[in-house]
Structure 1
Amino acid sequence: MKVVILAGGFGTRLSEETDVRPKPLVEIGGKPILWHIMKMYEAAGLTDFIICCGYRGQMIKHYFVNYFMENYDIEVDLGANKLKFLGHPSERWKVTMVDTGADSMTGGRVKRVAHLLNNETFCLTYGDGVSDVDLAKVIAHHRENGRAATITAVPSPGRFGILELEGSAVANFREKPANEMGWINGGFFVLEPSVLDLVTSDATVWEREPLEALAKTGQLSAYRHTGFWRPMDTLRDKRDLEGMWASGKAPWKLWS
């Protein structure tokens, strides 16, 4: 199963970092948060990634093109004109990076990589949030419920869009109501390829028309996660995540 990661936004609320690099490359413990997210999926057995690039996307491409050079020992034989990487990489990832436009919205970015999904079920997440959610269980939940889309629901104050749940089904999806508590979109979606028919253009916001339509038609399922979940929206979030990683007790470190 392929994992699509949205990594093209401007990250304006973390401008202290994102003025010089895309938010997914902002580091936690010396590794980009994108790396942490991919390690979470790897722990669930998923290693085939499609990264939707946009703002400063060339930096994400450079990171992976130079991955061996940055992370492993190198032997250079100048006389023989040979370059050899020493050791065996712990990450056995296949990474496809696609320029999905500087100004595309989240739905538009996913639509732009549809041709790479082979008309198969796929995962979708954001390039700026970590969690201790069991992704294998999210996928199993999706298969058991048989709906077109599954969203990971997490409890939070109402500064985010609210999910109204009826059992395991999402009855309604409402964006950013004021002064309201409830379940919110924690990302970590599992989707059938048919959901891409709901994206009409680069301007389509995945969290608006597509999710709202899926909820209204009973095709949006919710996997409730009450454990750790944290988006890296601000510098304070970054510092909090750094502190957790430095303590050796980062909840999202699901790999050994």
Structure 2
Amino acid sequence: MKTVILCGGRGMRLREYTEAIPKVLVEVGGRPILWHIMKNYAHHGFTDYVLALGYLGDKVKEFFLDDQTWRRRDVRLRTGSAGPPELLGGDGEDWTITFAGTGLDTNTGGRIKRLEQHLDDGDVFFATYGDGVSDVDLHELLEFHRDHGRIATVTVVQPRIGLGVLDVDGGGRVTRFDEKPRFDGWVNGGFFVFDRRVFGYLDDNSDLERETLVQLAGDGQLMAYQHRGFWACMDTYKDNVDLNQRWACGHAPWRVWREGYGA
């Protein structure tokens, strides 16, 4: 089963990093956030990825070619041969990655539509954003999707509000103060499951959030998987600092794989 990861965004609120690299390569704990997302899927046994590239997409290719193919592998080179170097194994990840260019400024739904040719070998596929991490159980998510039989499932979450919330009575007296409470409603957390019928709702520049999901909901074809565990989105510099601090202190709930933090 394939996993689409949307990697094309510019990351305008992370300009400290993203003038030189795409948002998905901004690091958490010394590794790109994209790597963390892929490790999570791989932990659940899903290791076939289709990366929807856009802004600075070649940098994503370079990261994996350098990191996985050369740095972490032994190599035998025959200097008199015109053939490529021979890879001798190592501790790289056992993943299959398709790097697919989907346009510089293409909307999210359009990026998925442009991947249709790479997603023709199964009835369903995962898709998620390249800037969100979570401890969502992907097997439970997939089972939920298969049980309900609709076209699409979105994982919904209740993030904490970044401001203090107060209850105030008619006289101006504060009766309750809650610093950064959990949001009462549900928001789109990514970690989608789609079946192939979704391509009938997409064109080459569809907006997944403002068009496709709205249409699916209107047709009764969108279901919500309610995740009450950890979820975080790296939208800003502050978000990046928070995720790095969590990793450094050993409290990174999205790290569901078993190896040590350096692995």
Q: TM-score range by the shorter chain?
A: 0.7 to 0.9
Work out which of the residue numbers 109, 131, 135 in structure 2 matches 1:132: 135
State the match for 2:149 in structure 1: 146
| Offset, 1:208 | 1.4
Say if 1:137 and 1:69 are closer, same or farther in 2 by CA, change over 3 A: same
| Offset, 1:65 | 1.8
What CA deviation, in whole Å up to 9, does each residue of 1:171-227 have, x standing for no partner?
xxxxxxxxx95100000000011111111332x110111101111111111110011
What amino acid is the match of 1:154? V
Unaligned runs of 5+ in 1: 160-179
Q: Does 1:8 align with 2:8?
A: yes
How many positions carry a matched residue from both structures? 235
Alignment root-mean-square deviation, CA: 2.0
State the match for 1:239 in structure 2: 241
What amino acid is the match of 2:9? G
Q: How does 1:34-113 map to 2 (within 5 A)?
A: 34-69=34-69, 71-75=71-75, 83=85, 85=87, 87-113=89-115
Work out which of the residue numbers 155, 169, 180 in structure 1 matches 2:158: 155
- Extract structure 1 runs of 4+ deviating beyond 2 A: 67-71, 73-90, 156-159
What amino acid is the match of 1:100? T
Say if 1:69 and 1:96 are closer, same or farther in 2 by CA, change over 3 A: closer
State the match for 1:220 in structure 2: 222
Unaligned runs of 5+ in 2: 163-182, 259-263
| Distance (whole Å) between structure 1 residues aligned to residue 44 and residue 235 of structure 2 | 25
Say if 1:242 and 1:199 are closer, same or farther in 2 by CA, change over 3 A: same
TM-score with structure 1 setting the length:
0.86
| Offset, 1:75 | 4.5
The answer to whether the 8 A contact 2:26-2:32 is kept is yes
The answer to whether the 8 A contact 2:49-2:97 is kept is yes
| Distance (whole Å) between structure 1 residues aligned to residue 116 and residue 101 of structure 2 | 13
SS of the residue aligned with 2:159? Answer: strand
